[in-house]
A and B are shown apart, each in its own frame.
Chain A
């Protein structure tokens, strides 16, 4: 049987199996393919690196468990870099389903880095309202989030003593997977209050945010697992994202080949029909 005819009749389950193996095997036996941090990733890293030690940073973690593989690695690496700079981190969440997951991740990294809750970091939890919450935070953050994730009065924590609104922060980090997320931060916060903003986003949303990078509305961006892995590489860490990048690369090459083969089949079919 000729190749185009063979491909045309190929059971798609073979493609699933091949994709599965190409993802599984590099996780078991890593190839350690090289990574080159891109300018948006360098921008993200450098924006945090340029913060004076002890700066207060607002970190909005807007995702749920479905986006965890892409956004958890960048959340962890960002928190590690911020804690290393002795930054005071205030975490909020605009995604209802992910607030508990974010709390777990933030507390886990803080415990590893021996950070004190309420002094070095705080999690204000979830607030319903999407854009309305962002606008309200511009007036008063303690007024918008009167209680933290655990129900305690936020004014009772030293980290919140001088927090009024966005002006109290040196940088906003938006880790997001859709709506509400980075786009809403650009539209409602960066555009109005002109606070430096960096973003870590899922790969699906990354292409739609590139215009904000080009205009400087975003100082840097991590796009998907590749962005997270490049960020880990810049930080000389080998975390969850770097660990998955060999599988990611092999799967991409395979899918590109499948697209190429699909076109060959299509071209052959048209040629056959024409003759």
Chain B
């Protein structure tokens, strides 16, 4: 098995930091702390710069500068379909968010927050009502007998799981007798779904480990993929 280590200095830095993080599995140590602090610092700096260029400049500064440069008529040329000057309004609301740092004017930040919460609550509510509430109820109403044993069994299991899981969250009556039995069945179905969720989470975490090992073996050490 031949090694062809990467000539890229950046790859060596990434490999060294990966090994520093892995060293935590043995015990906490200064190398791990170094990698951890470096990661936090670089990430914070990176996202600040990214936010400046991809949010503030791209969505606010550039369109406003274009609106005021005079090439498309006066800045308030709404009659020709140029509404970019209206961006001053969200800019103002953005500035109001920082009013929290001055206790006397902190109340002003609530206007901006109210706008954000109102818009997103509206968007989420309509989206959820259509796609999760109505569509899921429609999808849950399905024939029990499909003419095929496999899918028929699946439909029965689905219906039993759906009804019993709903009954598990029915708290208006004491859960004993038939309701208790259905509720225990619901708990069983919920446990199965938690187990599936756990299995998928393990898969995700192992995938990250595999990704790091693939990086170390192939990108850093240059081992061929077999």
Contacts and interface: CB of A to CB of B under 8 A. Distances in A.
B214 A225 contact: no
Contacts of A19: 206, 209
Contacts of B223: 28
Contact of A28 (B54, B204, B226): B226
A251 B205 CA distance: 11
B146 interface: no
Interface residues of B, number: 46
B202 interface: yes
B127 A244 contact: no
Interface residues of A, number: 55
A175 interface: no
Contact of B207 (A212, A215, A248): A248
Interface stretch (A1-9, A125-133, A163-171): A125-133
Contacts of A155: none
B207 A28 contact: no
Interface in B169-220: 193, 196-197, 199-204, 206-214, 217
Contacts of A52: none
Contacts of B40: none
Contacts, number: 133
A262 interface: no
Nearest to A131: B123
Interface in A30-89: 30, 66, 68-70
B207 to A, nearest CB: 4
A92 B77 CA distance: 30
B6 interface: no
Interface stretch (B68-76, B105-113, B134-142): B134-142
A23 B135 contact: no
Contact of A203 (B46, B55, B124, B200): B200
27 contacts: A28-B217, A30-B226, A69-B211, A69-B212, A70-B207, A97-B50, A128-B59, A132-B120, A132-B123, A184-B127, A187-B124, A191-B127, A192-B130, A206-B200, A211-B132, A211-B136, A214-B139, A217-B131, A217-B135, A223-B200, A226-B203, A244-B207, A244-B214, A247-B206, A247-B210, A248-B207, A252-B203
